[in-house]
Amino acid sequence: MVASRLIERLDRALVDATDPLQREYLKAERAGALARLGLLADARFALQGLRTQNQRHRDALLSAWIHLVDGQIEHFDTVARSAADKFARALADAEAAGDAPMQALASAWLAMTAFNASDLPALTRHVGRALRLAEPEQHAARARVGLVLADAYRFAGDDAASQTWYLRARAHASAEGDSSMISVLLYNLATHRAGHIALADAFGRADAEQARKALLEVESTANYDWGTGVASLSAMVPVNRAQLLVALARYEEAARLFDDHLERAAAEGMSHRAARLLADRAWCHVKTGRVAQALADARAAEATAATQQDPDDRAAAFARLAAIHRHGGRDAAAAQLQAQADEALALHHAEQARLRRALDDALAALDEPDGVA
């Protein structure tokens, strides 16, 4: 089964390894694989053993592995921003050890955290380093940086470039036997499509046929995770499904999914989008006649909508809140919120253009035209 290929390969390598430090490196790689599968308790137990061993070895590369695994555990537990600090320490230790493969891998993870933080200079810097240092057969680093570029280009509105990088990332993940990476690829693709459709729906421009296709993709992702044993970030798929159900006017179903999974999704790293998701749930309550619940969610969303990090989230929240106020006959409040939505949407489009230029420039600066050996 795909889920166990990477673990099985590492277990075989551990049996064959005779060098004590090499065994610790393999144990660390295995602990990271466990974290990415969502087996966080097992990963933490393994990490503690690695720390104990490194008190004896005092090895810079093993220290790098320990920081990398620690960051992966934090990321797949709560998508914590502090994971970036762990990846930065991994990179520093890898540089001290003079180990280019670990530098490439840590840089790929730092590129991911930079993208999540909307830090464009850091994103292009880490992407460039990862692609320069990762050899063609270094599948883990190339899969990770490929995923980052795929996500970044899709966010930038360049679907053709995004698809190219998704295919490259998936090829490297398959070669690595990393089912968790394939799961993330499927999830991110479905998430971006769901977010795009939900944004259009908030502005009254949803395409029902696209929403139906995207819903099938989200359900396929859930089925893949169930079939391969991937357990990380389990609440995000149902939330994506709820957003698409809103676009399909299946409000009762959407509200139930929001009720069941919003709290867990916030703990898994979606708290920065809470206002947008609360506004979606408020709209469900409006359409199903639950006035008290609609007012509670709308007020909570309106209180924090402007603080959301990404302008597309702000645009979606404000547009949905404007629709709620229009539905209640509060036209002046609706007009003000719609103006804020339009302003945020224009900023989103400007940021997309800026991101596309930065990514194109970063890849053009590499020896390979497309950054791939």
Angstrom distance (rounded) from CA 59 to CA 17: 18
Per-residue confidence (pLDDT) for residue 370, from 0 to 100? 42
Mean pLDDT of the chain: 91
Confidence bin at 368 (pLDDT 50/70/90): very low
Structure confidence by residue, pLDDT tens digits, 18-49: 999 999 999 999 999 999 988 999 999 999 99
Can you say how many angstroms the Cα of residue 231 is from the centroid of all Cα atoms in its chain?
15
Angle at 197 between CA 191 and CA 203, to 5 degrees: 135
Which pLDDT band, with edges at 50, 70 and 90, does 186 fall under? confident
How confident is the model at residue 369, as a pLDDT?
41
Q: Kindly report the pTM of this predicted structure.
A: 0.87
Distance CA 7, CA 5 (A): 6
Quick one: pLDDT at residue 227?
Answer: 44
Tens of pLDDT along 318-353? 999 999 999 999 999 999 999 999 999 999 999 999
Question: Is 226's pLDDT higher than 80?
Answer: no
Residue 229 reports pLDDT greater than 50? no
Q: How confident is the model at residue 234 (pLDDT cuts 50, 70, 90)?
A: low
Tens of pLDDT, residue by residue over 134-156, are 999 999 999 999 999 999 999 99
Instruction: Over range 235-248, report the average pLDDT.
Output: 91
Q: What's the pLDDT at 290?
A: 96
Query: Which pLDDT score, from 0 to 100, does residue 272 have?
Result: 81
Residue type, 148: V
pLDDT given at position 258: 95
Helix, strand and coil content of the chain, in percent to the nearest 5, comes to 85, 0, 15
Q: How many Cβ atoms from other residues are within 10 Å of residue 1's Cβ?
A: 9
Please return the burial class of 318, using the count of CB atoms within 10 Å of its CB with bins 0-12, 13-18 and 19+. buried
Query: Amino acid identity of 294?
Result: A
Dump pLDDT digits (tens) for 99-110.
999 999 999 999
Q: How confident is the model over 119-139, as a mean pLDDT?
A: 96
Q: What is the residue-wise DSSP string for 62-75?
A: HHHHHHHHHHHHHH
Strand residues in 57-164 grouped as ranges (E): none
State the pLDDT at residue 265.
79
- Sequence-ordered list of residues with C-beta below 8 angstroms from that of 187, at least 6 positions apart, any chain: 221, 233, 236, 237
Please, which pLDDT band fits residue 246 given cuts at 50, 70 and 90?
A: very high
List of residues 6+ apart from 110 with CB closer than 8 A: 84, 87, 88, 91, 122, 126
The H-assigned helical ranges of the chain are: 2-16, 20-36, 40-57, 60-78, 83-97, 100-116, 120-133, 139-155, 159-176, 179-202, 208-228, 236-247, 251-265, 274-287, 291-304, 311-327, 331-364
Distance, CA of 218 to CA of 203 (rounded, Å): 22
